[in-house]
Amino acid sequence: MTQTHDGPGAAADGVPPPPQSLTTGAARKLSTTTKTPPATLETTPRWLSRMLPWTDVPGGAYRVNRRLTHTVGDGRVPIVRVGTEHRPLPAGLRELSLLRGADEGSPQGMEALNAVADAFTAVRYRPGEVIAEAGSPADRVLLVAHGKVRRTRSGEFGDPARLGLLSSGEVAGSAALSGPRSQAEPWDATLTAATACTVLALSAADFAALRDRVPALEAVVRRAASAPRPRTNKLGEAAVAMAAGHRGEPTIPGTFVDYDPAPREYELGIAQTVLRVHTRVAELYSEPMDQQGEQLRLTVAALMERREHDLVNDRGFGLLHNADPRQTVSTRSGPPGPDDLDELLSRRRKSEFFLAHPKAIAAFGRECTRRGVMPGTARVEGQAVTTWRGVPLLPCDKIPISRSGTTSVLVMRTGEQDEGVIGLHRTGLPDEHVPGVSVRAMDIGDQAIRRFLVTAYHSVAVLVPDALGLLEDVELGR
């Protein structure tokens, strides 16, 4: 029979033995805990705020003077959707050159625009279906309501050449609105549905009949047809007359450079909150960390995140809503590929960085892997980032992702000297905490709560249209 001998500290009947020394739980009553400052998940790198050059706006508004531009029309027409039906926004039809003279503020102008909007009919096409054939009469104007339409033409040696894509709101065949009183010009390209798409069509014959029925529309068209056509350069700016390559003593043309009579002014946006700190907390519990200072640090950080969001998404000055239609392109196949980023880069000089959602950057990496292409890397402010053609792709989670899993990619040139994109703020504020952010003590109420008004003033300006490019319809789920 084997016997065991328990030591002096052994438990009887499973009862724990008494401690032989001071326990750690009791010892911690006399110790000082090492603590971290409070952290937050909301903080992001805020690359846009870091990369933009900031301009001080003492007067609260920033005016962007430009050379006079004669808008030629045929930009994007906004499409509204009611249920399953699509309809062009009446006021947006002024993008069509023949309807540019319609005054949306007058009853007659809105009558004409509403009549044209109601006359469009929706046609749905399956992927691969031909919408219009090159060389056939262009007897209708087409508005892409949903989906993508590919433009192709026979190349120099007979092979098909891709001319690009039309996406939502883009126009084709607007010259047909002048018929049938004049001979219809042929389509200059074949239009094919790249995806399942909905196209709004208005034939020249229906438009002519509409002009006969709606006197207000006839007046708008006549006014547009009789308006003088100013001389412009290829970008729509008022042309500068000059002589070059001449010999002898011809008369040198005189000229001047006119300015936009109604330049855009950017007013500083505002983000505010009232921080509340109880005096008892601030006075009794501020060792070893300043409670009021930590509350202020976290509040200002949240305010700066809101500023970054506004710079991208604000309906008035946000970059997503201020890209020129002619600087907006759609992806060729859905996911963001090298071809799409090359198209963005080709439309501007001195692109400095892309701005994309982290998931869009990951999708671009997958597309490069699928094609056997290796994107570059570079260090920007000490951090390694992906690059394409030497241009960094910087992450920004403030760029939204739609419910269907699509997003956008921005590319920009920055700085006043380069006529790029600049940030706007107001510095030198009373009680300024950081540039553009003030923290003003308000009062202490009868509940002994001290209040601080935290304010940030900010905006962003695009000095010329080609400073900002937008890649839209970027699919993340493929």
The answer to the question of residue 312 being in a domain is: yes
Flag whether pLDDT at 9 surpasses 80.
no
CA gap 138, 187 in Å, rounded: 5
The tens digit of pLDDT for each residue in 419-431 reads 999 999 999 999 9
| 98 located within any domain | yes
Note the pLDDT tens digit of each residue in 222-246.
887 777 777 777 777 777 888 888 7
Q: Judge whether 320 and 437 are in contact, CB under 8 Å.
A: no
Nearest to 463 by CA among 69, 52, 65, 72: 65
Residue 6 has pLDDT above 60, yes or no: no
Which residue, chain included where needed, has tokens 């500068």?
240
Angle at 165 (CA atoms; ends 104, 478), nearest 5 degrees: 115
18 within some domain: no
pLDDT for the residue numbered 92: 83
Cα(356)–Cα(331) distance, rounded to whole angstroms?
Answer: 14
For residues 200 and 239, membership in a common domain is answered with no
Does residue 118 share a domain with residue 53?
Answer: no
Nearest C-alpha neighbor of 175 from the set 83, 288, 112, 97: 97
* Cα separation of the two ends of the chain: 73
What integer best gives the mean pLDDT of the chain? Answer: 87
- As a three-state string, the secondary structure of the chain is CCCCCCCCCCCCCCCCCCCCCCCHHHHHHHCCCCCCCCCCCCCCCCHHHHHCCEEECCCCEEEECCECECCCCCCCCCEEEECCEEEECHHHHHHCHHHCCCCCCCHHHHHHHHHHHHHCEEEEECCCCEEECCCCECCEEEEEEECCEEEEEECCCCCEEEEEEECCCCEECHHHHHCCCCCCCECCCEEEECCCEEEEEEEHHHHHHHHHHCHHHHHHHHHHHHCCCCCECCCCEECCCCCCCCCCCCCCCCCCCCECCCCEEEECEEEEEEEEEEHHHHHHCCCCCCHHHHHHHHHHHHHHHHHHHHHHHCCCCCHHHCCCHHHEEECCCCCCCHHHHHHHHHCCCCCCEEEECHHHHHHHHHHHHHHCCCCEEEEECCEEEEEECCEEEEECCCCCCCCCCEEEEEEECECCCCCCEEEEECCCCCCEEECCEEEEEEEECCCCEEEEEEEEEEEEEECCHHHEEEEEEEECCC
Of 404, 452, 384, nearest to 195 by C-alpha is 404
More confident: 103 or 138: 138
Indicate whether 282 and 390 sit together in one domain: yes
> Are 192 and 308 in the same domain?
no
Taking Cα atoms as reference points, which of 72, 115, 113 lies closest to residue 93?
Answer: 113
Contact 460, 316 (CB under 8 A): no
In a domain, 290, yes or no: yes
Same-domain status, 213 and 313: no
Position 179 scores a pLDDT of 56
Residue 216 C-beta-side C-alpha neighbours within 13 Å:
14
Express as a percent the part of the chain with pLDDT over 90: 44
Angle between helices 358-371 and 338-346 (to 10 degrees): 110
pLDDT, tens only, 314-331: 999 999 999 988 899 888
Question: What is the pLDDT confidence band of residue 300, given thresholds at 50, 70 and 90?
Answer: very high
351 & 446 share domain: yes
Task: Specify whether 161 is located in the same domain as 280.
Answer: no
Distances (CA, A) of 266 to 56, 269, 460: 13, 9, 8
In terms of residues, how long is the chain?
478
Domain contains 28: no
Residue numbers of the domain that contains 281 = 47-58+268-475
Tell me, yes or no, whether 234 and 291 share the same domain.
Answer: no
Work out the percent of the chain whose per-residue pLDDT is above 70. 95
Cα 351 to Cα 465: distance, rounded to the nearest angstrom: 13
Enumerate the β-bridge partners of residue 459.
424
Residue 298 has pLDDT above 70, yes or no: yes
Task: Give the separation between CA 54 and CA 45, rounded to whole angstroms.
Answer: 17
The answer on 331 and 234 residing in a single domain is: no
393 phi/psi in degrees, rounded to 5: -100, 105
Statement to judge: residues 214 and 239 lie in one domain: no
Q: Is the dihedral of CA 285, 290, 295, 298 positive or negative?
A: negative
Q: Could you tell me if 217 and 112 are in contact, meaning their C-beta atoms sit under 8 angstroms apart? A: yes
Tell me, what CATH number does 191's domain have?
A: 2.60.120.10
In a domain? residue 439: yes
Same domain assignment for residues 207 and 238: no
Specify which residues 122 forms β-bridges with. Answer: 200
pTM for this predicted structure? 0.82
User: Which single residue is written with the structure tokens 């892997």?
Assistant: 369
In whole angstroms, what is the distance from residue 356 CA to residue 368 CA? 16
Say if residue 280's pLDDT is above 60. Answer: yes
If asked whether residues 106 and 199 sit together in one domain, one would say yes
Q: Is residue 41 part of a domain?
A: no
Residue among 6, 5, 51, 41 nearest 305 (CA): 41
Question: How many domains would you assign to the chain?
Answer: 3
Whether residue 273 is contained in a domain is answered as yes
Q: Predicted confidence band at 181 (pLDDT cuts at 50, 70, 90)?
A: very low
pLDDT confidence tier of residue 364, bands split at 50, 70 and 90: very high
